[in-house]
Amino acid sequence: MFSYRHAFHAGNHADVLKHITLLATMRHLMQKEAGITLIDTHAGAGLYRLDGDYSQKGAEAEDGLFKLLGAAEKLDALPEPVQDYLEQIASFNPNGQAKIYPGSPFLMHKLMRHESRDRLRLFELHPTDSKSLTSNIAQLDAGRTITVSREDGFEALKKLLPPPASATGSKRAMVLIDPSYEIKSDYAKVANVIQEYLKRFSTGTYLVWYPIIPRPEAHDLPKRLRTLANQSQKPWLNATLSIGRGPDDVGGLVASGMFVINPPFTLKDQIRKALDMVGPALARGSGKNWQVESS
């Protein structure tokens, strides 16, 4: 159950897709004055060393962040979501070398309004990662605006949604759901959570990351999410990225997707432009593909 450690995968192509989508979504949501509750159900350790033993073992950032950085240097201008993503990474690496990779919790914190309007709720069940997350978040001295809990993020949503009303009376929340899927039942849990909370809090923005692998559960998940959104008459967006397999590739994840329910109206155009740059930059062989679908 606890074999997955995101430190082995930090900065890979899946992180690039996930975090570009996350930041673009948040940028739009933060344009509204009312406070928002931000939730990460599977937060990981929060910060990762790209020059550490875990990251170096698989060197997955080489086919993700580092490849993107190399491509970006050759261009005069970047799509806004890509530029934003790379600037956020750079802010954690003031010496100019990408050695620290911020996970979703730290990227979400960077975009929070800090006049006590926004709240960030983080959940991580892995004992080691939960301890690291708590320690990393403590460095921010964020007080009660951020909480870290070692518990099942799926279950934790029950006490957080619907979120409390803001000072203006509105209820707003963005939920990032990105389990490791090392347990086959995670696929059903994700779909069940979305089904439940589209009934309990239908106006929330839900972002689901998922792997694209030859497994029935993985194949069916985006289809089920699309059906649930359509049944609830909620807009959706599905962005996928496959970097393809190189000639010497013997395995590993090469494709993933981000499914967003109640996406900002600007997101489709933003992610399409981003993937038109990111896709070719990260592509490495047969099977490369990237696309954006929406309702």
Active site (annotated) includes residue 118? no
Q: Which residue has the tokens 């038109």?
A: 276
191, two tokens: 């779909």
Q: Using an 8 Å Cβ cutoff, are 38 and 160 in contact?
A: no
d(CA 182, CA 160): 25
Give the Cα separation of 212 and 216 in Å (integer).
10
One of 63, 118, 129, 178 is an active-site residue; which one?
178
Q: Which amino acid is at 295?
A: S
Provide the residue count of the chain: 295
Asked whether 273 and 79 are in contact (CB, 8 A), the reply is yes
Q: Which residues pair with 175 in a beta bridge?
A: 39, 206
Catalytic residues: 178
